[in-house]
Chains A and B, each alone.
Chain A
Amino acid sequence: TPESMDGGSKLERLFAHPLYNIQTPVLMPEERLLEAEQLIKYYKKKVSRWERHMKTYSKALNWSNVTVAAHEVTYDPDASWVKFYLGINRYALYSREDPTILQLLKDLQSMTVVNADYTQDEKALKGACDCSQVVKPSGHHLKLALKMRNLAKVMYKPMRQQRDDETPEDVFYFVDFQRHNAEIASFHLDRILDFRRVPPVAGRQLNITGEVLHVTHNEDLRSVFFTSPANNTCFFAKCLYMCKTEYAVCGSPNHLEGSMSAYLPSLSMAPRVSIPNPWTRSYTFTGRQEWEDNPFYCDTVKQQPPYNSGNRLLNIIDMSIFDFLTGNMDRHHYEIFSNFGDEGFLLHLDNARGFGKHSHDEMSILAPLTQCCIIKRSTLLRLQLLAQSAFSLSDVMRESLQSDPLHPILTEPHISALDRRLHKVLSAVQQCVRRLGEDEVITNDFIKPTVNP
């Protein structure tokens, strides 16, 4: 590999760098999202409910001729997802050196699927389907909730586009495809940026007949499966198919790659709030938002709670840098855990609309940074580090993505676009510093700056 040629893995060296090894404060119990006891109780309840359900379900099945593969579930208090949940704290979704994340990624890639169903937001629509809607609610998009043998819950988004397909120039951000590889790449990028705000995602070749059709107990889901003229198994998102906006996705003949994202703890255990992004877009063909026309928009935002104190605005700027690097224009809301209050980190969920165009840098995504002209020192130092050739962002991303079974996840043009965009972020910061001075722009966060290597 090219990494070994210049002396070992760049990714390893990056994570070994002092900037990535700053000690975080010892966590107080209230700084963790979940208590172990509570989670174990929840898990046990789930297992017994599943067993009860399977009993009644298999009885009901005796009268029908549907083939359903019955899978045993296991109760495993050391399961990777349990550890992942317990590790969530007020600073990040997981800690840097946590081995459970690697285990969780492995489980996502290989563990037996015991059940498949529609996601909650699709079910919430209750089949309502308004074909005239220009912006379809997120529930309309094709994604499935899968249960693994150890009752880990996973969101599966199937492949919709080839790796080298780009979003056509005439397509608006709100009608763009959801890309499974963008979900995977976003997780790796977020980890390399040391944000750790994206739940673990792994790629997987799913057998949609064996691992979806034959394990679902949902009659509706079963009814959207069919065999194509080329003898492939296909299924579709009911509403989008009915509106003839999307065709089905098809395996070849059964295998279909997709992204497997670990679910976050259920809302009953760890409630979250969804907050509109102050730099949201209009989601119409012609409308413009205030921030698109008013260069002083940030001044108004800065005066409004919760952006007038603490880290919230800085977190928004982290998020905008993350989205700019991926080219994701579809960040209308962000979520935080209610438990951590306004000081909690922002979750970077739903990144499937990133990595659509490698030849275009959408500068408007950076508006929060260019308008507010502030950035966390820790973020800036890491960005500067990743701009150095010894740790270049494209190289570490390439290396990191190689660990995924579906690699190559991103085509070369997408990977090299990351470097180009990183430089644009840094020059945006530079311009701010030139205009306002370093003290105004660079905010010291909880990490003490260390010596630059």
Chain B
Amino acid sequence: MSIRMILFRKFRLLILMVFLVACTMHIMIDLLPKLEKRGAESADGGCQCAQHPGSDAQGWGKQRTRSGAEAEAGWPNKHTLRILQDFSNEPSSNLSSHSLEKMTGAGDRVEQLRRSGPSEDHKPLIGHQSRARIISTRGGSRLSALYEHPLYKVDLPVLTDDDTLFNVNTDISFYTKATGNQDWHNEDEEEFSPTADIPAESYPHWLRFHIGINRYELYSRHSPVLDALLKDLVNQRITSVAMKSGGTQLKLIMTFQNNGQALFKPMKQTREQETPPDFFYFSDFERHNAEIAAFHLDRILDFRRVPPVAGRLVNMTKEIRDVTRDKKLWRTFFISPANNVCFYGECSYYCSTEHALCGKPDQIEGSLAAFLPDLTLAKRKTWRNPWRRSYHKRKKAEWEVDPDYCDEVKQTPPYDRGSRLLDIMDMTIFDFLMGNMDRHHYETFEKFGNNTFIIHLDNGRGFGKHSHDELSILVPLNQCCRVRKSTFLRLQLLAKEEYQLSVLMEESLLRDRLSPVLIQPHLQAMDRRLRLVLQVLSGCIDKEGYVNVVEEDVVRDSATHRGPRHR
């Protein structure tokens, strides 16, 4: 720890240096606004950044929500994409020696924060968003109490370049050279302390989210980016809208002013509506509130495998119809007999006049899920869920008829080694708590090979029935009888009264703009389902013994623990 502290002080010095350089560049750009190609040249000048808030239209623009006019001048998304792509295609670039600057990257910074603990004496380093959250801890929030629990403080192994999705350091320098547009400034209404003002801070939040992705998680527990990204999803101006091809139900891709993108799922059902009993899992509607709630649930379970999702009221005329270039989408807009704006889009499920989505008169609710890095930059692998359903009205899947199905799975790569099977168990529990029967595939990041978490995408079919617990979703757990110790302990914790899952979920969901996201019966159903999961697990332990069921994974800070799993 003491070595870390020394390192840490060194970084602070370094951060200050970088800050100085950034200010210098900022001023230079002020003087030569069009000098894009020569930005890398250094120039002298005092630090006046704070006096020039938002004066630079070439800003990276994450905090630009208030001044929409600057949007067109935002830096071109293509650049970073190309940069990231460049070095993702060039593995040798990852081998460059670890410079000290590297530690200023978002991911590592967060790493530090986690080690030092959120409420300790490093507040100046923490972005204002996370500080706000810490303050609410003291206000007696149950959610903050949860995150204070030792179970939620287990560290990740030290990350190497192989463990992060992108190499931040190379990325920054590459960016500098390619665009010459160094605008590291922060707007002064954002109350950063000088030491926190480091280059990565001025990245748009979505990029910082992408950079923070590592082998073990989509985002870290106390990531300051996360809350900012969620705010962006709600506040950023929508500059263009397109229909997502593929997929069965209507989804829109929304591009924001800061070039971030998100997947929009419009509201199709009211909060109170339940899936009719005669509907098959594959004909069920996708629910925007399920997407939102799934993100919160995943976070409370400490999986952190769902990309950030926020609810938003969207103006269908100004934020969809008027900014889309998609004629197919545009054509389906109409005014309803009640004078509301409606549209139905084009897709294979429920895209017809009968299922038109109507605003009131033009406001529609929806979920906005942050995009993962572009597939050209970070390839993902799609895996077929071994417990996939038949997606047929009459046929049954193999696992439904073979009680020893898991023995087969356990012998099939990639489930025969590593933690993949345990990840499936985590996902099973997650899906059962929501009642999501539609998990036919899952994805991983290709870069991390088989030793990585699985991404929980597409949760819109959860939370369809609060009065029914679909036990078949738990079949993988029943058949395999395996679980991570960390998951098991957290589930037990969440079953306790002071950490009751439904209460935590309710508190977490209160932060969403579309609150209440779930009606009470859905929240209570999660407590009931959690007890069922624990029953299944204790049944397993009785039958097969604790050591055969519960996989020891809690002692993570001994970095060697996960080591052997790396290729």
| CB closest residue in chain B, given A232 | B278
Distance A134 CA – B346 CA, assembled complex (angstroms): 13
Would B349 and A244 count as touching, CB distance under 8 A?
yes
* A396 on interface, CB distance cutoff 8 Å: no
Q: How does the 8 Å CB contact mask read for A118-150 relative to B, with 1 for contact and 0 for none?
A: 000000000000010010000000000000000
Would B336 and A171 count as touching, CB distance under 8 A?
yes
Chain B interface (Cβ within 8 Å of chain A)? 276-281, 283, 334-338, 340, 342, 348-356, 358, 393-394
Would A170 and B336 count as touching, CB distance under 8 A?
yes
Distance A134 CA – B351 CA, assembled complex (angstroms): 11
Would B337 and A170 count as touching, CB distance under 8 A?
yes
Would A171 and B337 count as touching, CB distance under 8 A?
yes
Would B349 and A247 count as touching, CB distance under 8 A?
no
Would B352 and A245 count as touching, CB distance under 8 A?
yes
Distance A215 CA – B281 CA, assembled complex (angstroms): 30
Q: How does the 8 Å CB contact mask read for A231-248 relative to B, with 1 for contact and 0 for none?
A: 010100000000111111
Number of A-B contacts (CB under 8 A): 64
| CB closest residue in chain B, given A284 | B334
Q: How does the 8 Å CB contact mask read for A201-244 relative to B, with 1 for contact and 0 for none?
A: 00000000000000000000000001111101010000000011
Set of chain B residues within 8 Å of A243, measured between Cβ atoms: 352
Distance A304 CA – B90 CA, assembled complex (angstroms): 81
| CB closest residue in chain A, given B357 | A170
* A4 on interface, CB distance cutoff 8 Å: no
Distance in angstroms from A441 CB to nearest chain B CB is 31
Question: Which of B283, B336, B352, B393 is in CB contact (< 8 Å) with A247?
Answer: B283
* A286 on interface, CB distance cutoff 8 Å: yes
A170-B356, A285-B334 given; A234·B278 CB < 8 A: yes
Chain A interface (Cβ within 8 Å of chain B)? 131, 134, 169-173, 175, 226-230, 232, 234, 243-248, 250, 285-286
Distance in angstroms from A417 CB to nearest chain B CB is 18
Question: Which of A226, A245, A248, A286 is in CB contact (< 8 Å) with B335?
Answer: A286
**Additional pairs, 20, CB under 8 Å, beyond known A226-B394, A228-B279, A244-B350:** A170-B340, A170-B356, A170-B358, A172-B336, A172-B337, A172-B353, A227-B393, A227-B394, A228-B277, A228-B278, A229-B279, A232-B278, A234-B278, A244-B283, A244-B348, A244-B351, A245-B352, A245-B355, A247-B276, A286-B334
| CB closest residue in chain B, given A244 | B349
Distance A243 CA – B344 CA, assembled complex (angstroms): 13
Set of chain B residues within 8 Å of A234, measured between Cβ atoms: 278
Set of chain B residues within 8 Å of A173, measured between Cβ atoms: 337
Distance A229 CA – B336 CA, assembled complex (angstroms): 34
Set of chain A residues within 8 Å of B340, measured between Cβ atoms: 169-170
Q: Which 5 A-B pairs have the closest CB atoms?
A: A170-B336, A169-B338, A228-B278, A285-B334, A230-B277
Distance A226 CA – B282 CA, assembled complex (angstroms): 15
Distance A250 CA – B348 CA, assembled complex (angstroms): 23
Set of chain A residues within 8 Å of B353, measured between Cβ atoms: 134, 172, 175, 245
| CB closest residue in chain B, given A250 | B278
Set of chain B residues within 8 Å of A230, measured between Cβ atoms: 277-278
Set of chain B residues within 8 Å of A227, measured between Cβ atoms: 393-394
Set of chain A residues within 8 Å of B358, measured between Cβ atoms: 170
Distance in angstroms from A352 CB to nearest chain B CB is 15
Set of chain A residues within 8 Å of B280, measured between Cβ atoms: 228-229
Set of chain A residues within 8 Å of B355, measured between Cβ atoms: 244-245
Would B335 and A285 count as touching, CB distance under 8 A?
yes
